[in-house]
Structure 1
Amino acid sequence: MPGVMAALREWQHDEAPMQLHSGDIGWNYRFGTAATAEVTRAWSRDGRIVAVGMLDSPTLVRLAAAPDVSRDADLARRLVEDLSRPERGVLPEGAVSVEAPQGLLLHDLLTEEGWDVDEPWTPLFRDLTDPVEDAGVRIREMGLEQAQDFADVLRSAFNSTRPTAAYLHELSAGPFSADARCLGVCDEQGACVAVVTVWSAGPGRPGLVEPMGVHADHRGRGYGRAITLAGAAALREMGSSSVRVCTPSANVGGVATYKAAGFVAQPEVADRIRKV
């Protein structure tokens, strides 16, 4: 895993397309080291990692590749074989999806193999050269004593029962916790109403928002913009050159929130899907 994370950090740069980020794997550490290793795949050539995948679900793999092999025919063919054959241990039979950065030769070969295009997503980007404007609200770092507050906001924001207080405990105990900042917005009564986790890929490289959420009872009050600004400011302090995020284009409110926080929408992207 240290080698995988080092490769993913190295491949992040401001001109690169949206792709699997070291923070995506860092966020997966909320399920523990063994679970994260189990869903991670790496392709190597001559001892060097050239592509990395993470199973976001049993039927969806998210990919990244070294910039110098984006049009490498041998790697593209190998990826197609491994993604298409269940016995290779990447994706099962039936309907599956692949998220891969734009520009990979892999996309051309998947099209030839009959893979379709799924619903569009919107990547968003904010340059961090200049200081980030003040969020205008009370921001606090979410430590272990705020683990339940952190989970409660995420449960409400994403209408999910999955987030638990163990998330922050596992993240803080993980080997890459120093890459992350978990922040919260408090209302006038001191209640946590919005949270964000941001991930650094190292100085001079783009950071990632993963995840950001506002409690359902407190939407429409600017807390999403505020917590996003706070996350961007934290990444700038950590040396990040920019910050990026990707959200479904159908999530109109989410796209608007990021734009309000100074993010610029990039051309839409889409997963590749193999239907039954």
Structure 2
Amino acid sequence: MHVDLTTPHARALGEVLSELGSWQRDGLPVQLHPGDLGWQWRFGPAALAGALRVWTANGTVVAIGLLDEGSLVRMGVAPSADQDEGLARILLRDLEDPARGVLTGDKPIVEARFGTVFRSLLRRRGWIDDEPWTPLVRDLRSPVETPRVRVETVGHERVADRVAVQRAAFDRSTFTAGRWTVMSRSPAYRHARCLVGYDDRDNAVAAATVWSAGEGRPGLLEPVGVHRDHRGRGYGTAITLAAASTLRDMGASSATVVTPTSNAGAVATYASAGFRRLPAVTDFALVR
């Protein structure tokens, strides 16, 4: 098998998004989603393109990797390649060889939640379990309950609230109005919405961004957060319900979200919003 490994040009990002969207299917493990790329787009198209690795066979995209901080790659594998051992061996070769420019550092980590043969080969080659993550899914064939807070879709007039919640929900967040604007102008955001929830005093208390992969496909919640000053009051459940309802209105078949298994509060919040907890999955780590 001849497989080419490339870094896409920024102009090709739309094609990568489309291909990745076509791989999202109900019943398959939750893997790299167009929304993951859309959220990364806040740093600009050139930065996103530089963080992507694309594997093609005979001109067809068969795998996509999103680099995160140099030592982690988040993988998406075409459903048609689930049992392709030849591809799995090529992916592993490229991931294990620092000269290939995919992974660096003393402890490279691979997020590989799909690709039966690929995951098996990682284990056989000595990659060990790293941090466990819990996927959760909500079927959207039935209407979603109405949240108990006022929820608004973010346009330019509400960007400040969206940014404020993000930075108060995640201690290391570098989100800004400028980065929201860059993200909102991307082709990925044509199939996305940012939501902000308000309490009865008009305080912005929670926020979420939802990403569609197309009609009849699973959508993604990424990210979801509650302002640190307003936790423990049910706002996480409320914004999650609003996010699921928005995805349903956009034609998504289901809503998916993934959170560290260690974050028991987040897992409980999503479950309280009607999400079904799936078995935990681990990243793969290699100690050189």
For the residues of structure 2 that align with 1:132 and 1:22, how far apart are their CA atoms?
23
* Pairs within 5 Å for 1:56-75: 56-75=68-87
For the residues of structure 1 that align with 2:173 and 2:214, how far apart are their CA atoms?
33
1:252 aligns with 2:234: no
Amino acid of the structure 2 residue aligned with 1:144: H
For the residues of structure 2 that align with 1:87 and 1:103, how far apart are their CA atoms?
24
Percent identity, aligned pairs only?
49
The one of 146, 153, 167 aligned to 2:165: 153
- Measure how far apart 1:219 and its partner are: 0.3
The one of 49, 53, 64 aligned to 2:61: 49
Deviation by residue 1:186-235 (Cα, 9 ceiling, x = unmatched): 11121211000000000000000000000000001110000000010010
The aligned counterpart of 1:175 is 187
Structure 1 contact 102–269 (Cα < 8 Å) conserved? no
The aligned counterpart of 1:232 is 244
The aligned counterpart of 2:103 is 91
Structure 1 contact 147–166 (Cα < 8 Å) conserved? no
1:127 aligns with 2:139: yes
Q: Which structure 1 residue ranges, 5 or more long, are not aligned? A: none
Q: Which structure 2 residue ranges, 5 or more long, are not aligned? A: 1-12
Deviation by residue 1:35-81 (Cα, 9 ceiling, x = unmatched): 11110111001111011110122111001111111110110010001
For the residues of structure 2 that align with 1:255 and 1:214, how far apart are their CA atoms?
14
Structure 1 contact 208–244 (Cα < 8 Å) conserved? yes
For the residues of structure 1 that align with 2:107 and 2:138, how far apart are their CA atoms?
34
The aligned counterpart of 2:16 is 4
For the residues of structure 2 that align with 1:103 and 1:77, how far apart are their CA atoms?
12
The aligned counterpart of 1:31 is 43
The aligned counterpart of 1:165 is 177
- Measure how far apart 1:103 and its partner are: 4.4
Please say which of residues 65-74 and 155-164 is displaced more in the overlay: 155-164
TM-score by length of 1: 0.97
Structure 1 contact 147–167 (Cα < 8 Å) conserved? no
- Structure 2 counterpart SS, 1:176: helix
For the residues of structure 1 that align with 2:275 and 2:130, how far apart are their CA atoms?
24
C-alpha distance 220-61 of structure 1, shift in aligned 2 (>3 A):
same
1:137 aligns with 2:173: no
Deviation by residue 1:242-265 (Cα, 9 ceiling, x = unmatched): 000110110000000000000000
Runs of 4+ in 1 over 2 A off after TM superposition: none
The aligned counterpart of 2:6 is none
- Structure 2 counterpart SS, 1:117: strand
For the residues of structure 2 that align with 1:223 and 1:121, how far apart are their CA atoms?
23
- Structure 2 counterpart SS, 1:58: coil
* Pairs within 5 Å for 1:163-242: 163-242=175-254
